[in-house]
Structures are given as C-alpha cells and as structure tokens.
Structure 1
Amino acid sequence: MMMTVRSCSWVLLIACGIGNLFAGSTVGAEDQTVSGYVFHDQNANGLREPDEAGLAKVRVSNGRDVVETDPAGRYELPVSTDTVVFVIKPRGWMVPTSSNHLPRFYYVHKPNGSPSNLEYPGVSPTGPLPSSVDFPLQKQAEPNRFQVVAFGDPQPNNLGDIYHLAHDVVPELVGTDAAFGLCLGDLMADSLDLFPAYNDVMGQIGIPFYNTIGNHDINFDVSSDALSDETWERVYGPATYSFDWGPVHFIVADNVYYDGDKRYHGEFTEQVLEFIRNDLRYVPRDQLVVVTMHIPLTSTNDSALLELLKERPSLSLAGHAHQIRHRFVAIPGADGERSKHHHVVNGAVCGIHWLGDPDEYGIPHAMTHCGSPNGYTFITFDGNEYSMKFKAPRRPDDDQMHIFLPSEMAESTLGEAEVLVNVYFGSEKNKTEMRVDDGPWVTMKREIRQDPYLLKVVPPGHPVSQATHIWAGKLPESLKPGGHTLHVRTKDMFGQTFSAARVFRVLSEDN
C-alpha cells in the first residue's frame, strides 16, 4: 500500500517518533515483518506517487539482515519492537536530508517508545508498524573522484565549546568542495541536550554529515548496551549502517559497548559483525571499503572485523584517543599488498577537550595528546585509491609540522643540539629530511616520544602521549657563529611533500 503522510519531510518526522503518520491500515506487532518500497522521488516531496517507479536491487536493512529490493522496488524484513530499518544509499542516488543536512534514510520502529525516565529523551512511541515503510531517493552525480572531510571528537562540554567549534573550525569549511562529512564519534561530551545546537552549527557547512556514535554520545542512565543509544536513535537514527558514494562503500560501525554504571569497552558485537557480513555480500571484492568507528580498531576485537575485510581494499577511521596515529594492522591469513589494513586514528577537532589558553578571539589554543594541533582531515578518493591531508583550523594548508630547536646555542654545544620535528599527520611511511642553510639533506630518524612543546603547556593531569610521528636529528658541529636557517621536508605515503623552516643563532665563545 502506498503511504500517505502529513509532511513531505516524513523520514525526519517518523525518526523523531511523532506518532503514527500513516493513513490506511497498520499491521499488528505480532506480525514482526516490515515491507515497503524504495522509489525514485521525482518531485522530492517524500511521497510515493503512482508515476514514481520503484528501484530494483537497492539494499535495505534492519541492522542485521540485508536484502535487495525486487524488480518493483519492494523489500521485506523481519523486525522486533526495537528496530531501525534503513535504506543503504546506492551510488548515484541521495536520501532526503534535514534542514541541517543530516541524512534521513531510516525508520525507527519502537511501538512503545524509549524508556520514559531517561535524562535525555529517546524515541517517542511510534505506534503500530505501518503497512508500508517507503524510502525516497533522488538522482545525483557521483564521480569516481571526490573528497570527504573527517572529524574526530568535537566533544563540546557546553554551549561555549560549541561556539568554539563554530568560530574555529566551521567557517573555513562553509562552501567546501567536499561531497560529505564523516564524524567519528563523541559529537557530545555526555550532555546530549546539546545535540540541537551542535547540529545547527555543523549544518552551516552545507554538506551531509554521516555520524558515528561515541562513548560520550550514549545514555548512561540505562542498564544495558541495547538501551544506550536511545537518544542517538531519536536524533541520528541507527548507530550502525552503510552507504555507497561514488565507487566507495562506507560502513559506519558502533563499537562502543556499554557495560553499565558509566563504564564501557570497545567491541564489535555479534549483531554489528553480522550486519557487516551480510552487507559485504553485495559489495564487489575489488571495491574500496571504508569503515568508520569511534574506539580505535586495536582496542577492540579487531580480528573479527579484519576477517570480514580480508582480501578487500580497505581503510578504517577512528577517533576517541585525541591524537593522530597511523597503524598498518596485519590481517591474519591475508597475503600480498592486502595483507595489512590501514587504520587511522584521526585526531580531534576539540584537541584535548578545548583545553588551552584563549587567543585574542577567545578560542582555545587546542592541541591533541600527541602535540598536533586540533584539526580534521580531507580524504580524496579516486576509484579504490585514496589520499589524506590534515588541516589545522585557521592555519595555512601547508602548515603540517612544527620544529623544536633552541633559538640560540653556544658554538661548543652544537654537537649536543637536537632537532625534533612533529609531522602532524606523519606515519612510519614518511621520509623526513633536514638541512642547515644550503647544506646537504640529511635523513632524520623517526622516534616514539613526547612532543616537547606540549610538555611545556599542558596542565597537570592531562596525559601527553608517546607520539608516533616525531623525527629527530642533530645539527652539524661545523656551523659558524651567526644566524642560520634549518629547513625540514617530509614526503608522506601519498607522495605529498611538505616543508617548514626555523631560524636560530650560533653564539661564539666570546659572547
């Protein structure tokens, strides 16, 4: 049966749990089957009109099972009384979005609603299962080459932090060429009543954002993991889902398992893994798969996910750690060029929780635990290849490192003078070199150590991590007294070269 609704923005309204918006008959809860159509919404009103064709071979899921629509665009899935049904966006098509550009691709089925005693409200009772749950799609161009912006941990503690985000990060992204954004969790810092203000600010960027749930985005006043995403479902829909964009398949995976009593751990549950397994059955083995999560892969049951990604080109992104780190994780049983999986811990938009002395505009000078500035990443996809570039807000695009070297030193101590370079988005695959003035280039050594600048400014009680993207070198002992310039250049795994310089003085023994 074709559904009729009271508003053209029907996906948003139903997801927010605003009653039974369907005209016509409903099925009883005991039937436990949802059906409907995925259709070409040619007039963009959200309603399936008689002349709007159903779309075949589009995937739909209940968070575990994945089915394809039949030639008429119809699907059918089992549901419980706590299910989010969603369409898996195919290439060349787009789902409706809210006024803040949030994708609306799901229907929340909770006949009885969320628990009524939550500090932050969940889903209102949705009533009986509608006779048809339909998903509108509209055509859009999706070339092989496109760009995505990836955020880790915006994590505002209060409205002031949301305005830090609004003034520090968002303005330079307004009008971006990125096709969409990915947020890797901890959109909040436990205060889930800030979701509306956060969405208002992020919506100004003007592109869809696909969000990953984090440990600070959950309901803590519940007894089980199954109830920890009630508010998330009201605002964003499913915590685990997938979509295609261009030639790339994206999977957003919930790996925050709530243990109760405000404790959690990193885990891909059996249901999440089953969804990914079923989802990938429809994904060609040579298609790039990008998995987003909140807790870094190596702090979870990573082998279970890696087994599903084996023999596929893949990339995964995480937040949580408030630092930048590249890992190349061995996939058990895999050989050749796909024997290692590239996992990126993507830093944090908030740095260390918006910690730092305010600048003249009142914005904190925020750094992450590894000494990199707060920031985000641009990812450029081209077929099943990709490249990545870090961006610190309100800094030039080529600001990719800082150099630690005393401003002056005695001629007699040149042999002891150490040069340290923090390449913000560097990995073990970078080649980093230095030279003084017009001297020869010398290869620097990557060392795992703390950032010396961060050690100077971080308040007590905030950890400074052992950064994996610091390179060390020594000054030539033959330098003459006077002014000199240290030049540093680094080439990353994507073939991008960045440089920086620092001026210093060598003092004669007579000074």
Structure 2
Amino acid sequence: MPGQVRAAPACPGGVVYQDDDRDGRHDPGEPGVAGVRVSDGVDIVETGDDGRYRLAARADRPRFIVKPPGYRVPDAANGLPDFWRAPDAMGAGCGDFALWSDDARRGDASFAIRIIADPQPKSAVDVDYYARDIVEPILAASGTGDAVADLGLSLGDIVNDDLSLYPAMIAQTARLGVPWLHVAGNHDLDAGAVDDAASLATFRHHFGPDTFAWETPQASFLLFDDVVHMPGGSPSYVGGLREDQFRFIEAYLATARRDRLLVLGVHIPFFDTGKGRESFRHEDRERLFRLLEPFPRVLLLSGHGHVQQHAWHGPSTGWHGRQPLHEYNVGAACGAFWSGVADAEGIPDATMSDGTPNGHARMDVDARGDYRLAWLPARDASGEQAGMSLHAPRVLRRGAWPGFAVYANVYMGDADSRVEYRIDAGEWKPMARVVQADPRVLATNLADDAAEALRAYDRAPEAKPSQHLWRGSLPTDLATGEHRIEVRTHDRWRGELRAATAYTLVEREAGVE
C-alpha cells in the first residue's frame, strides 16, 4: 500500500536497451543504449557501452532514467510514460528500461508542450469538468490530424487532497496520447504524513519520482517537488528543496548541455507571493539560481496561485545572470477551483480572481532553444480567441465627465506590454496599466452578494488585483449613438492581438430623468 516503506529488493542494476520490435522485452539482438543516465533521485550513474548500469536499490525511492534526446519511452499500463520503476519492483528485469527510436522528434524541428497547472478536482464531478473543459477540447483541436503535442507537463495539485482521484485523473490525461510528466503540489500530500520525507508516498506510487529530468533535442526539463511539508506548523508548508534534491540537481546540471533551453517545472513559485512572507525559502532559491547561472537560456514554470503572471528575476531575488530570469507562473486549469455559475453545458465559469479564464498553456521550442508561450482558455485549445477580455460601460450620457473607461485584461501581459485603444477607427492611444481588480470579476462578486440563493455550488472567489490589466478613458464628446472600441496589444510571442467592444452615448437634458 502507498505510504508503507518496504525492504529494498535485490536489484543492483539493469540494462537500458533499444526495443526495436516494441514488445517490452529485451530480446536477443536488441542493443543496449550507452550513456543513458539512471538515477534514484539522489545519485546518477550512466550506462556503459552495453547499456548496463549498476545502482543500488533504495526502499523509498523510484528508480528512473533521464530520457535521452532522440528516443521515446513506451507507455505504462495506465498510459503514462514508462520511465521509472517502483522501489518494491521484484523479479527479473526489475531495473531494465526500454527505449524506442524516435526520428520524428529531430533537433531541427519545433517541439510543442502542453502545460497544465492545478487541475485540482475535489470530487468525481470535478474530474468530469476537467475532462470536458480541458481534455476534450484539446483532442478536438487536434482532430485535423495534428498531434496534441510532443510532451505534456502537469505542475502540481493534480487533485485537491483526495488522492483516491489519481487513477481517474491519470485516465483522463492519458486520453491525450502524449508523454505526460507530473510535478507534486501542496494538495498532493499524504494526509497524516509525519514529516516531509513521508508526504509523497502516494504520489510516487502513481507518478514515480518527485525529482527527475527529461531531455529532447530542443530542451532539457528539470522537474521537482518544491513543497516542503511542515506538519503541525503554521503555515504547514513552504517552498524550498531538500538536500537530496540538491544532490541530484547539482549532479545533473554538472553535465547537462548548455546549447539548448533548460526548463524547470515546479508547483510553488520562486518569487514571494506576499509582502513580508518568505513563501519560497530564499536560501534555497539563491543556491538553485547559482547552479543555473552558467546556462544561457533558462525558463522557470510554476503554478499554485490560481492567477497568471510573469516574473523577471534579478539581483533582488538572487539571480545574477547576464539577463533577467523569466518565470511564467501558469494559470490554473480549474481556474477558481471549479467555482462560479455553470454554463449551458453545466461547466462552471471558473474565471480566476485576476480575471484570467481557466485553461492551459502551450509552449513551442524551436531548434535554437527559443520558446513561444500562449495561454489557451478552456474550450479554446486551438488559441483562436483574442488573448484578452474587455470591459466597458454599455451606455454613457453624451457630455458627461469622461471618468469612465474600457478595461483590457491581457492574459499574457506584464509591465512591459504595450496596449493601445482607439474609438471608431480613430487614432491609436496608449492604455495605462493599472494593478487593481478586474471589473468583470467585481461584477460577479456583486451579483453573488445580491443573490438570495447560491448561484452555483461554490461562488466565484473575491477579486484580486490583476497584474495584466489596462485602462483607457472613454470620450463622451462624440455624437450620440454607438461607438466601436478596438484594443490591440503586441504579444511578445504571438504578435499583434486585437479585441473589440462598443458603448453608446445618449442625450439627457438637465433635470430630466
């Protein structure tokens, strides 16, 4: 059973081989693959010319391979990548790993990754939302024959404390037919775990190692648990790393290639999420950042916050590289925890507290290691929507003081984004970035407050200041009638994006209602 520590089996090593007939057996004539790294999350060894390695088994740690570029691994029975072995695996071949040659993923081709953060179902009902709101639209968007992606990442909080939902979530994600890798979150911990070391027994039982690496021709991925469980404490967890994780990371980075993109995937953001609160241990962050500084291209991916934002690390957060270090804090697949009023299909609105719609991200990496990012709202897995939402009053009095505005929530925007608007195809004018609540979320809060009964299973969360909101004042000295508002932004990865809405000016005589 998960959570129980068993004696380590007598499995001192094994072989990594090219499974030419893809039958899952090391048949005569199938060569070993040299130079493949094998690890238990602490120590790393390499296979010899014959594909064989030696690594003492540990009772509490899965054994895994660092998937090398140019290969893929078979699927396990549950549809996830078969790149690890449970610590209680017994019998012949307990330390053997099959690799399949994968010519389709060449180094000169672009590589697509789907990124899901915080799907976080609390019940089978929420698993169904995840299936219909996230998984099935991705499948539909790729129904023209295009692959869903080359790789998938889930950045923690796979479930919301109910770990019995893991098999159902795995089954849904496996429908995508993509090698999918998982990171642990603070809601993936074993209830009643007495310490941090015991907190991920169930996660490891289903997903394998909590700290590992994976390589493609275009990028190297370093994925690890960054939730330090502190049972009985307040708070009960903090962002950081264990000493054994540093041992693995240091060993891996010492020989990792520097001519490709290095992607780190975690759950808790590396930046502090509140003033005066060390939500990620600064000492651990600075130690990790020092290890990353020799790499010219690094991207950090995190989740956890159920908002979306970009952070650019520099000396104030312990980063001393030649360029700012980019962290993309990915919005939640469950959005606002699967809350809000349901639509005609019975799926909650789930807009996040910063006004970002729930959904998932897509990243494309080219042969040079340059990456492009996009946020794809739920049921828009092809990315056809404008990448922003607008809010403006419907009607204003002609000649009124021009203190009312159009707001643009640009989901992938940050402080450097340029956002402009124009009225009736006139001159483009800059919009001002404002760090405040999105009026659309405030309106939902007010509607929930005014309702005499719950409008949904859970009401939408209270609006929080958005990091990607812009404001433009609406003129009231134009002719009566409807006026078109256009907004454009230059997305650093997708180019120009546009959206439009309208408002109407009406005449009112003084004293006349």
TM-score by length of 2: 0.87
Contact kept, 8 Å, 1:99 with 1:203, in 2: the verdict is no
> Offset at 1:102?
0.6
Aligned to 2:201: 230
> Offset at 1:413?
2.3
Contact kept, 8 Å, 2:399 with 2:477, in 1: the verdict is no
Amino acid of the structure 1 residue aligned with 2:59: T
Contact kept, 8 Å, 1:414 with 1:475, in 2: the verdict is no
Aligned to 1:362: 346
Aligned to 1:117: none
Amino acid of the structure 2 residue aligned with 1:163: D
- Say what the alpha-carbon RMSD is for the aligned residues: 2.5
Which deviates more from structure 2 when the two are superposed, residues 342-351 or residues 448-457?
Answer: 448-457
Q: Distance in 1 between matches of 2:49 and 2:441?
A: 59
Give the gaps of 5 or more residues in structure 2. Answer: 272-278, 450-458
Aligned to 1:285: 258
Aligned to 1:142: 105
Q: 1:404 to 1:89 in 2, by over 3 A?
A: same
**Which one of the candidate residues 379, 394, 399 is aligned to 1:394?**
379
Counterparts of residues 238-387 of structure 1 (less than 5 Å): 238-261=209-232, 263-298=236-271, 299-301=279-281, 302-312=285-295, 313-330=297-314, 332=318, 334-336=320-322, 339-383=323-367, 384-387=369-372
> Offset at 1:69?
1.2
Q: Distance in 2 between matches of 1:109 and 1:204?
A: 27
Q: Distance in 2 between matches of 1:393 and 1:435?
A: 29
Q: Distance in 2 between matches of 1:180 and 1:390?
A: 16
Instruction: Give the secondary-structure state (helix, strand or coil) at the position aligned to 1:260.
Output: coil
Q: 1:257-312 CA distances to partner (integer Å, 9 max, x unpaired)?
A: 11114822111222212211111122122321001100111132322221111131
> Offset at 1:132?
5.9
Contact kept, 8 Å, 2:40 with 2:58, in 1: the verdict is no
Q: 1:455-487 CA distances to partner (integer Å, 9 max, x unpaired)?
A: 221457934222110011212353222110000
Amino acid of the structure 2 residue aligned with 1:372: T
User: Which has the larger share of strand?
Assistant: 1
Aligned to 1:434: 421
Counterparts of residues 398-417 of structure 1 (less than 5 Å): 398-417=385-404
Which deviates more from structure 2 when the two are superposed, residues 467-476 or residues 297-306?
Answer: 297-306
Instruction: Give the secondary-structure state (helix, strand or coil) at the position aligned to 1:196.
Output: helix
Q: 1:356-378 CA distances to partner (integer Å, 9 max, x unpaired)?
A: 11111111011112111101111
Q: 1:98 to 1:36 in 2, by over 3 A?
A: closer
Q: Distance in 2 between matches of 1:271 and 1:188?
A: 26
Counterparts of residues 151-230 of structure 1 (less than 5 Å): 151-174=116-139, 175=142, 176-230=147-201
Q: Does residue 463 of structure 2 align to residue 464 of structure 1? A: yes
Counterparts of residues 10-21 of structure 1 (less than 5 Å): none
Q: Does residue 79 of structure 2 align to residue 101 of structure 1? A: yes
Contact kept, 8 Å, 2:269 with 2:302, in 1: the verdict is yes
Q: Does residue 58 of structure 2 align to residue 80 of structure 1? A: yes
Q: Distance in 2 between matches of 1:105 and 1:131?
A: 14
Instruction: Give the secondary-structure state (helix, strand or coil) at the position aligned to 2:251.
Output: helix
> Offset at 1:49?
1.9
Q: 1:58-90 CA distances to partner (integer Å, 9 max, x unpaired)?
A: 111110122221111122224432221110000
Instruction: Give the secondary-structure state (helix, strand or coil) at the position aligned to 1:281.
Output: helix
Amino acid of the structure 2 residue aligned with 1:488: V
Q: Distance in 2 between matches of 1:489 and 1:368?
A: 22
Aligned to 1:8: none
Instruction: Give the secondary-structure state (helix, strand or coil) at the position aligned to 1:348.
Output: coil
TM-score by length of 1: 0.87
Which deviates more from structure 2 when the two are superposed, residues 190-199 or residues 254-263?
Answer: 254-263
Contact kept, 8 Å, 2:9 with 2:59, in 1: the verdict is no
Amino acid of the structure 2 residue aligned with 1:474: S
Q: Distance in 1 between matches of 2:319 and 2:500?
A: 44
Q: Distance in 1 between matches of 2:169 and 2:40?
A: 28
Instruction: Give the secondary-structure state (helix, strand or coil) at the position aligned to 2:443.
Output: helix
Amino acid of the structure 2 residue aligned with 1:146: F
Contact kept, 8 Å, 1:356 with 1:366, in 2: the verdict is yes
Q: Distance in 2 between matches of 1:81 and 1:99?
A: 23
Q: Distance in 1 between matches of 2:242 and 2:8?
A: 26
Q: 1:333 to 1:254 in 2, by over 3 A?
A: closer
Q: Distance in 1 between matches of 2:222 and 2:324?
A: 19
Contact kept, 8 Å, 1:412 with 1:509, in 2: the verdict is no
Which deviates more from structure 2 when the two are superposed, residues 316-325 or residues 488-497?
Answer: 488-497
Contact kept, 8 Å, 1:100 with 1:204, in 2: the verdict is no
Give the gaps of 5 or more residues in structure 1. Answer: 1-14, 21-27, 111-125
Q: Distance in 2 between matches of 1:412 and 1:98?
A: 68
Q: Distance in 2 between matches of 1:375 and 1:131?
A: 41
Q: Distance in 1 between matches of 2:395 and 2:421?
A: 18
Q: 1:404 to 1:42 in 2, by over 3 A?
A: same
Q: Distance in 2 between matches of 1:94 and 1:386?
A: 21
Instruction: Give the secondary-structure state (helix, strand or coil) at the position aligned to 2:203.
Output: helix
% of aligned pairs identical? 31
Aligned to 2:441: 454
Which deviates more from structure 2 when the two are superposed, residues 366-375 or residues 69-78?
Answer: 69-78
Q: Distance in 2 between matches of 1:224 and 1:16?
A: 15
Q: 1:211 to 1:29 in 2, by over 3 A?
A: closer
> Offset at 1:323?
0.7
> Offset at 1:334?
3.1
Amino acid of the structure 2 residue aligned with 1:60: V
Contact kept, 8 Å, 1:378 with 1:391, in 2: the verdict is yes
Q: Distance in 1 between matches of 2:280 and 2:462?
A: 22
